[in-house]
Amino acid sequence: MSTSLAVWTGALLTLAVLSFLYDDNPAWRITEHLYVGLAAGYGLGYTWQNYLRPVLLNQVGAPGGWIWIFPLVLGALLYTRYIRGWEWLARFPMGIWIGYGAGYILAYLPRVVVGQVTGSMVALNSLSNVALLVCLLGGFATFVFTLPDRPGLIRTAGRIGRYAILIALGVAFGGTVLYRFTLLYGQVHFLVHDWLGLGH
Amino acid sequence: MTALRRLDRRWLYLGVLLITVAAAVWPLRIAPRPTRETRTAFDLAQALQPGAGVFVYVEYGLGSREEMDPMLAAVLGHLADRGAHIVIAARSPEASQVAETVMGGVAARDPAYAKGYGQTWVNLGYRPAPDVALRAATSGIAAAYNEVDYAGRPLAGMPILQALRALNRTYFALAYAFDSGDGFAPMIYYVGTPTGLPVIIGAISMEVPLLQPYLAAGQLAAVIAGARGAAEYEALAGQPRRADVLVGASAMAAIYVLAVMLLGNLVARRP
Amino acid sequence: MGFDGPGYGARLLLPGYLGSALLAALLLALMLICLFRARHGLRMPHLRRLPGIRVLEEMVGRATEMGRPVHMTPGTDDPRNPQVLASFPILRQLALAAARYDTPLLHTSADQIVYALSDATIQQTYIEAGRASLYDPEHVRYLSDNPFAYAAAVMGMFRRERPAANVMFGNFGAEALLLIEAGADAGSLQLAATSNIFQLPFFVAGCDYTLIGEEMYVAAASVSGDPMLRSTVIAQDWMRLVVALLVLAGAIVHTLAGPSDPLRRWLQR
Amino acid sequence: MRKELPIWLGTMAGAFVVATRWFTLVNATGVDRMADRLIVASYAAAAAVGFIGLTRVHLRAIDARRPLWGYSIVLLVAMYGYAGLLFFLPASAPLPSWIFLNVMGPVFSTMYGLIAFFITSAAYRAFRVRNLESGILLAAAAIALLGNSAVGGRIWHGWDGLVAWIMAVPVTGGFRAIQVGAALGALGTAVRVLLGLERSHMGSPQG
């Protein structure tokens, strides 16, 4: 058994989280609240250390640094949602962020779609390529919304597309299972090996 | 059968625990045959000239370390063997500390990297609105990261960023994203597609199917797939073998989950 | 400041953006045409009713019969995510039904701003439905910023209040599985909609109704019956037809012309 | 003005982004780079909003002596303690990084690992063959499970080839259809936002 404080801390916290599988209990609740608190504290503290502090020290004071005042004030307007009567001011950063984000989508996403389109222009000289095209066009057909009773061709294509989508989702499930078990294995290995001193 | 139909899910949980404990006490090592995708990733790194610029974007945080750390360590180790100059950035505060830990371990093995911070490698850390920061780096890294590295040290004096000024094909040979789900899309949208820089994704096994359309369209140069891809890469690059036990553990898990699915179907079949 | 990469010069667009600009311009034009037609009451094709949306009313009805509440969650992201934005029209529709049937609507969220917006939406809807007295602020809950802590809190809540129906509409991460299991444990009828592909296998396998990817945006745009919003969905369908034809034409050109492939190269200019 | 002006500013911001990214003349001014840096700063300035929100919720819980209010104290102490520590010390200093590696690390990893348990009970309950569709889902999952864990290749030599074909054809086709569809949906939403049709983020869905 380990004598290290770090290992004991980690082991007890791991057991506290696992205890939730049996039922809700105080050890789990303490860990859960610890988790939320640490995550929030870390996020803010890190942003301060790595971004806000350097910007305030190096950029705002530098020549021409006054321009930084605008975004900092804009972002800070979000806090007005906690001040009664001033909540509407928070709409300004929100509106600009959502507009800026929509601009990003509009500016960059079409080129990725074009890449997907040109990438699908395969030579129809092998069974796999034909099958790929059928799966893709069939998949498109499942997402047709404007025809209430879809005509026969689109319906058949849509069915094939739906099967392709189900295969894709099944394969994704398989990958997810392995990923989750790998993570759990790591934590259990820590308990068994580092804490209890068993195994290799 | 009626008892099975009303099975308390905690019995299934107990099975999960027993399987993982067994895998930890009696580790099963499986060395998988390298797939074409992993070999492509290896070949791209193998072809690097000494001093070539490589961008490594780390997205995964504390929760995904078990699957991703071996892969990141294997690739960074290989890049160090090739003498590449490595610029690391992160998508979250957590990821930046994870990257620092893993790169620290790799650098310790190689004198050119152990003493070469700022010269052979740099860790830029994380900035809020990471997509915007990543996009901004394609036209100027130092400005996008506010002239400081992950520990707040000024970038101005670092030779590596004199040579590798912007994240594009003029300065870099390869870009990597080590990803647990949120980093691949920004890497394709804002870096790979606009600049034409070859992008390699080191992915958790969960997201590998999702990357297939991009891989097939040439929007990704290669994908290293989860613990299995890590094990293959370690073998190809002659790096320390840490992922084989993960592949062994996931083999045991796969068989257990298949058995559970089968049981579920048998229980449902019986009248 | 130097500019890297070739192509600056007499061009209007940066190199490589011709295809994207055409695509975006075409989508915008189609949307504007459809909007114009909607504004002037011109004839428009009907939208297929998505199975998931048809059941919203049924879910509330079921809850009313059983005397148990309905639960809705917009997932665990903030409103900058379009999937979260798409949840509000659905919430509104659900609140209308809940007000009509006098059935409690529980709403939980994992983001402060989403919480504030949802609370306002529900209150507003109840007032418009003439049932302002049914609005109960205790039913709209902000549980935690953290997805796992949020899901754990929802699990506890499901165990105590056993909602008859569970609507999950928005962006979900790994915590989705905890929510599905909680709903199954409580015997809820479950509807799920997300564009997060990682969670779709679980939603498809574990929920009664699922909306995949684009279906959720269409549901959001069409559920209110607002012809303006609905018309933009029709433009998306036209765009899909354009993309499909382009793929087909490109494949044929590629097969005939070989690797020189003029169409592909033109699109990538 | 309180509702319309933010929407108009958003539309202008979006149009600005598109103009600076696509058009040679505007892009050449480099104004997009400065705008990106400034928008990052505005996000950072709002970084405390979740922090303040949690403080309010849990202070209220303690004040009203709600059930389980004691745990709120744990949360606030952890949050203020860690944030306070990082206010004075960089994250790489010994004490913050000890907490990061030995307290946050195990809790986060185990939380993620918990899903392995829930996946198993979901597999037991949900992956039942009721019709052709659920059969396809189950078969694909089983093939991928055995293939990705390197078990399949030991059972039958052609397994890895089968998985590679499935990845290259139905998975690529199916996911590409979903992704192109989702991209059209996202582009449509972006246009609706920029035209001011979609304004639920302003507080009331119908304008």
Say how many CA atoms lie within 13 Å of D86 toward its Cβ.
30
The DSSP 8-state label assigned to residue A78 in this structure reads G
Q: What is the pLDDT, as a whole number, of residue A139?
A: 94
pLDDT tier for residue A39 given thresholds of 50, 70 and 90:
confident
pLDDT tier for residue A98 given thresholds of 50, 70 and 90:
confident
Q: Is residue D108 part of a domain?
A: yes
Q: What is the pLDDT, as a whole number, of residue A148?
A: 62
The whole-angstrom distance between residue B91's C-alpha and the CA centroid of its chain comes to: 12
* Residue B144: count of CB within 10 angstroms of its CB: 24
Contact between chains at A164 and D170 (C-beta distance less than 8 A): yes
Instruction: Report pLDDT digits (tens) over D139-190.
Output: 999 999 998 888 888 888 888 889 999 999 999 999 999 999 988 988 988 8
The whole-angstrom distance between residue D43's C-alpha and the CA centroid of its chain comes to: 16
Fold type of domain B32-240: Rossmann fold (3.40.50)
At residue C113, what is the residue type?
I
Give the closest of C7, C85, C206 to D200, CB-based. Answer: C85
Over range C93-104, report the average pLDDT: 93
Domain positions in chain B: 1-29+245-271, 32-240
| Three-state SS at B196 | coil
| Under 8 Å between Cβ of B200 and B222 | yes
- What is this model's ipTM? 0.89
pLDDT tier for residue B252 given thresholds of 50, 70 and 90:
very high
Rounded to the nearest integer, the mean pLDDT of chain B is: 92
pLDDT tier for residue B128 given thresholds of 50, 70 and 90:
confident
The rounded radius of gyration (Å) of the Cα atoms in chain B is 21
pLDDT tier for residue C84 given thresholds of 50, 70 and 90:
confident
Q: Above 80 in pLDDT, residue A55?
A: yes
| Under 8 Å between Cβ of C207 and C188 | no
At residue C88, what is the residue type?
F
Pairing relationship of beta strands C105-109 and C189-194 according to DSSP bridges: unpaired
Q: What is the pLDDT, as a whole number, of residue C6?
A: 44
B235 or D182, which is more confident:
B235
Residue of C nearest to A137 (CA): C244
Please list the residues that pair with B202 across neighbouring strands. Answer: B178, B224
Q: Is residue C12 part of a domain?
A: no
Q: What is the pLDDT, as a whole number, of residue D170?
A: 95
CATH number of the domain residue C113 falls in = 3.40.50
B83 or C260, which is more confident:
B83
List, in order, residues 6 or more apart from B8 with CB less than 8 Å away.
none
Over range B77-93, report the average pLDDT: 96
Q: Looking at the structure, do residues C123 and C184 belong to the same domain, yes or no?
A: yes
CA angle, residues D160, B69, A8, in degrees to nearest 5: 125
List, in order, residues 6 or more apart from D112 with CB less than 8 Å away.
A180, A183, B63, B64, C174
Instruction: Report pLDDT digits (tens) over B195-218.
Output: 999 999 999 998 999 999 999 999
Q: Is residue D20 part of a domain?
A: no
- Domain range for D98: 94-126
pLDDT tier for residue A149 given thresholds of 50, 70 and 90:
low
CA angle, residues B182, B186, B191, in degrees to nearest 5: 145
Contact between chains at A110 and C21 (C-beta distance less than 8 A): yes
Q: Above 90 in pLDDT, residue D49?
A: no
Interface of D with B in 69-108 (CB under 8 A): 90-92, 97, 100-101, 104-105, 108
Q: Above 90 in pLDDT, residue B270?
A: no
List, in order, residues 6 or more apart from C133 with CB less than 8 Å away.
none
Percentage of the residues of chain C whose pLDDT score is greater than 90: 35
Of the candidate ranges B55-59, B130-134, C119-123, the one whose mean pLDDT is the lowest = C119-123
Q: Looking at the structure, do residues C212 and C263 belong to the same domain, yes or no?
A: no
Domain positions in chain A: 1-60, 64-119, 124-194
Please list the residues that pair with B154 across neighbouring strands. Answer: B148
Please list the residues that pair with D23 across neighbouring strands. Answer: C13
Can you point out the beta strands (E) in B137-221? Answer: 174-179, 199-203
D124: which chain A residues are within 8 Å (Cβ-Cβ)? none
Q: What is the pLDDT, as a whole number, of residue D201?
A: 65
CA angle, residues B113, B114, B117, in degrees to nearest 5: 65
List, in order, residues 6 or more apart from A187 with CB less than 8 Å away.
A14, B66, D106, D109, D110, D113
Give the closest of D118, D182, D190 to C178, CB-based. Answer: D118
Q: Looking at the structure, do residues D118 and D180 belong to the same domain, yes or no?
A: no
List, in order, residues 6 or more apart from B82 with CB less than 8 Å away.
B45, B46, B48, B50, B52
Q: Is residue C45 part of a domain?
A: no
Candidates C76, C103, C265, C266; CA nearest to C169 is C76
Among C208, C223, C238, residue at a domain's last position: C223
Q: Looking at the structure, do residues D121 and D150 belong to the same domain, yes or no?
A: no
Give the end-to-end CA distance of chain C in Å, rounded to a whole number: 26
Q: Is residue D200 part of a domain?
A: yes
Instruction: Report pLDDT digits (tens) over C141-177.
Output: 888 777 877 888 898 889 889 999 999 999 998 889 9
Q: Looking at the structure, do residues C80 and C206 belong to the same domain, yes or no?
A: yes
Q: Is residue D30 part of a domain?
A: no
* Distance to chain B for C211, nearest Cα, Å: 18
Over range B116-129, report the average pLDDT: 93
Instruction: Report pLDDT digits (tens) over C181-194.
Output: 889 888 999 999 99
Encode B62-87: b = buried (16+ Cβ within 10 Å), e = exposed.
bbbbbbbbbbbbbbbbbbbbbebbbb
C198: which chain B residues are within 8 Å (Cβ-Cβ)? 181, 206-207, 210
Percentage of the residues of chain C whose pLDDT score is greater than 70: 96
B246: which chain A residues are within 8 Å (Cβ-Cβ)? 182, 185
Contact between chains at B253 and A185 (C-beta distance less than 8 A): yes
Q: What six digits make up the tokens of A51?
A: 């971004």
At residue D131, what is the residue type?
N
Over range B27-55, report the average pLDDT: 94
Over range A151-165, report the average pLDDT: 89
Instruction: Report pLDDT digits (tens) over B168-192.
Output: 999 999 999 999 988 899 999 999 9
Q: What is the pLDDT, as a whole number, of residue B100?
A: 94
Instruction: Report pLDDT digits (tens) over D97-126.
Output: 999 999 999 998 898 888 899 999 888 888
Q: What is the pLDDT, as a whole number, of residue D204?
A: 53
The whole-angstrom separation of Cα A180 and Cα B180 is: 12
Over range C120-140, report the average pLDDT: 88
Instruction: Report pLDDT digits (tens) over C206-226.
Output: 899 999 888 888 888 888 777
B10 touches chain D (CB under 8 A): no
Interface of A with B in 32-71 (CB under 8 A): 42-43, 46-47, 49-51, 53-55, 58-59
Rounded to the nearest integer, the mean pLDDT of chain A is: 89
Alpha-carbon separation of residue B38 from B201, B229, B233 (angstroms): 11, 6, 6
Please list the residues that pair with C108 across neighbouring strands. Answer: C141
| Under 8 Å between Cβ of A102 and D14 | yes
Over range B18-34, report the average pLDDT: 91
Q: Looking at the structure, do residues C30 and C135 belong to the same domain, yes or no?
A: no
Per-range mean pLDDT, top range of A20-34, B22-36, B68-82: B68-82
- Domain range for C31: 18-36+230-267
D168: which chain A residues are within 8 Å (Cβ-Cβ)? 128, 132
* Distance to chain C for A199, nearest Cα, Å: 30
Give the closest of B65, B128, B250 to A51, CB-based. Answer: B128
Q: Is residue D177 part of a domain?
A: yes
| Under 8 Å between Cβ of B122 and B145 | no
- Residue C4, sorted as left (phi over 0), alpha (psi -120 to 50) or beta, turns out to be beta
Q: Which residues of C touch B (CB under 8 A)?
A: 1, 4-5, 16, 173, 197-198
The residue behind tokens 């996000």 is: D43
pLDDT tier for residue C54 given thresholds of 50, 70 and 90:
confident
Among D126, D145, D171, residue at a domain's last position: D126
Over range A75-98, report the average pLDDT: 87
Q: Is residue D157 part of a domain?
A: yes
Q: What is the pLDDT, as a whole number, of residue D207?
A: 38
Q: What is the pLDDT, as a whole number, of residue A150?
A: 62
Q: Looking at the structure, do residues C261 and C209 belong to the same domain, yes or no?
A: no
Over range D89-103, report the average pLDDT: 90
* Distance to chain D for B106, nearest Cα, Å: 18
- Residue D68, sorted as left (phi over 0), alpha (psi -120 to 50) or beta, turns out to be left
| Three-state SS at C145 | coil
Is D165 buried (19+), middle (13-18) or exposed (0-12) by CB count in 10 A? middle
Q: How many domains are there within chain D?
A: 2
List, in order, residues 6 or more apart from B80 with CB less than 8 Å away.
B86, B106, B107, B109, B110, B112, B113
Q: Looking at the structure, do residues C159 and C70 belong to the same domain, yes or no?
A: yes
Interface test with C, best of A91, A94, A146, A176 (most C CBs within 10 A): A146
Among D126, D149, D184, residue at a domain's last position: D126
Interface of B with C in 11-40 (CB under 8 A): none
At residue A8, what is the residue type?
W
Among D126, D142, D166, residue at a domain's last position: D126
Q: Above 60 in pLDDT, residue A41?
A: yes
Q: What is the pLDDT, as a whole number, of residue D192?
A: 86
Q: Is residue C93 part of a domain?
A: yes
| Under 8 Å between Cβ of B113 and B120 | yes
At residue C120, what is the residue type?
A
Q: Is residue C57 part of a domain?
A: yes
Alpha-carbon separation of residue B88 from A105, B51, B91, D92 (angstroms): 26, 15, 10, 16
Q: Is residue D48 part of a domain?
A: no
Q: Looking at the structure, do residues D147 and D120 belong to the same domain, yes or no?
A: no
Which residue blocks in B196-243 are alpha helix, DSSP H?
208-216, 226-237
